[in-house]
Structure formats: C-alpha cells, structure tokens
Amino acid sequence: MTGTSYTIIGGEKQNNTPHTIPWTLLVLNRGRSALQTQQLGFAEIISIESSTHRKREAVPNVKTLITDTSVNPGEQINIGISAASYPFVAVIWNDMQLKTLFSPQFIREVEDSGAVCSVPMLYSHHGDLIPSIPTPASSMRTVKTIPMTAIVTGTAALYPFDYAGIYNKKLFQLAGGYDAEMNSSFWQKMDFGFRSWLWGERIVLNASLRIFYTCDFQQDDQTIDNSYRRFYLRNLAVRVKDNLAYLPKSGVFSYIIRSGEGPMVAVSEYKETAEWIDRNSTRFIQSGRALVENWQHRMEEDR
C-alpha cells in the first residue's frame, strides 16, 4: 500500500491489564499540541511524524514512527495502520482529546459493526457539536458535500471528517486505504469515502465515540486541482454494467476539454485510470452517480 521508508523507535512493551483497550492508537501530529497518550490505556500507541519536521521528544510506552520524507495525512494513516499490531486502529490528531468510555460493550459494538471506519461525534474546544457527518449532494456536473450533525449510532458518513475514527485494519487495507498520490486532504478523504462505499464498505457514526478539539481547527480546502481530477476519474466517471465497472471510452473527449491539461496529459490520465478500473472492475457494486442518488433518496425517506 505504501513504499515510503520509515523507522520505529521506542515503545516498550505495555503491561496490559483486563482494562487495557485492545486496539492501536495512531496519533497524527500537527502544530505544537502535546497529547497525553500514555494516559489513554491503549494496548499500543504509535505517534507518526517525519524526519524533516520532527520536534517532539520520545514518550515512554509510545512507538514513534518516523518517515524518511514528509508525507500527507492519508499516507501517514496507511503506514501507521500497516505497522499496527492490533486489528482495530483509533486515529486522532495530537490536538484532539478522546472523551469516550471504552467499555467492553463499546469495544464489542465497534468490532461487530462491520464498518471500515467508525467515526466520532466531534466537538470544538468550546464544547460545541461540530457538523462532521459529510453527506453527498449533486452539484451541476460534479458532487459537493454537506456536513451534517447526527446523534444516532449507525448514521452513514461519506468519509471520516479530519481523518478521525476507528478503522478496521483488514477492511481498510482491502479497500485500498488512502490514495497517497493525492495531496489535497479534502479530495483524498472524498476518494477514500467514495471508494469504500462504491466497493461495498460502510463508514458510520458511533455516537458513543466523542472527540474534542483542544484548539481551533481549519476547514478543508476544496479547490479543484490535480487531486480532484484523479478523484473524478476513479469515482464519478465510473460506470457499472452487468456487475462490472468500466470507464467509457467516449468520455475521454469531454475529459480532455474539462481537465485543463493538454491532450497528451489528459489522455494519459484517462488511460491509466481505465486500466486501474479494469483491474478492480468486480469490486464496484454501484457507480458514483448511483451512490449520490441513493443517499439523497435515503435521506428524504428518513425525514
């Protein structure tokens, strides 16, 4: 899933007890916040950072995973989950606080949910509930997301808001993880979310999982860029017929016009994506267009 080289230092073996949470905690780092990871009670804790931006001292009982180069958040998660020793991985940033009772019932509920990712209810550092359940909606020829609030466990989310959630390692890797080629966090999350749902996986809210920011958080930059083009071709442009996915050959002409790139670059991107879809044609259970339409119908029925 990733070819990035990394080194792991520290992280003495934990003295697990009956109260130890039998999961890996993966901490992504940004800014200067210091997460008190050793107090959270996970069986394994991994903090990930790059050698080019390393600023933190080693923490006892925490494995520090240091990548040789700076990598985007999605690739960090791919690497961290691959390195995790446990089948479920809780992903948070160092400027977040977990305020969740990890009871045996909660742990069993998450593990039995069958979701590729269970996402949390997110709160601002003032204690306000943040609309963090992304829902898709059609917008001209593309798609937009509307962040909603929800309080019912099992509510569908298009993708994990700010990457936070509890990931099923096996299902995450079967779904291909995050696309490391995408440097836009927004389109990277959109791509993972769409691909998960198009391939039959589920991303759902667990209302017992509550995470608070310790400082202000930044909204996603939704600029149309190279990452969007890759997202569009691999998700929105896909068609499904007789249980097989394909990229229509006729679509290359409109893509050349709309891509903003020269014909040679556009054709190369289209051909590369068509080959990727052919390799994964049996994984798709629906098209991106059908996903959005079905989502909207489901929301209307729930009103």
Query: What is the per-residue burial (b if ≥16 Cβ within 10 Å, else e) of 21-36?
Result: bebbbbbbbeeeeebe
What integer pLDDT is reported at residue 171 of this predicted model?
98
pLDDT digits (tens, 9 = 90+) for 96-120: 999 999 999 999 999 999 999 999 9
What is the percent of the chain with per-residue pLDDT over 70, rounded to a whole number?
A: 91
The mean-pLDDT minimum among 25-29, 32-36, 240-244 falls in: 32-36
Distances (CA, A) of 213 to 24, 91, 93, 156: 20, 14, 9, 22
Residue 50, judged by CB atoms within 10 A of its CB (0-12, 13-18, 19+), counts as middle
Question: Structural domain boundaries of the chain?
Answer: 8-213, 226-302
Q: Which fold has domain 8-213?
A: Spore Coat Polysaccharide Biosynthesis Protein SpsA; Chain A (3.90.550)
Of the pLDDT bands very low, low, confident and very high (cuts 50, 70, 90), residue 254 is very high
What integer pLDDT is reported at residue 3 of this predicted model?
76
Please give the mean pLDDT across all residues of the chain: 91
Residue 242, judged by CB atoms within 10 A of its CB (0-12, 13-18, 19+), counts as exposed
What integer pLDDT is reported at residue 137 of this predicted model?
87
* DSSP helix/strand/coil, 197: helix
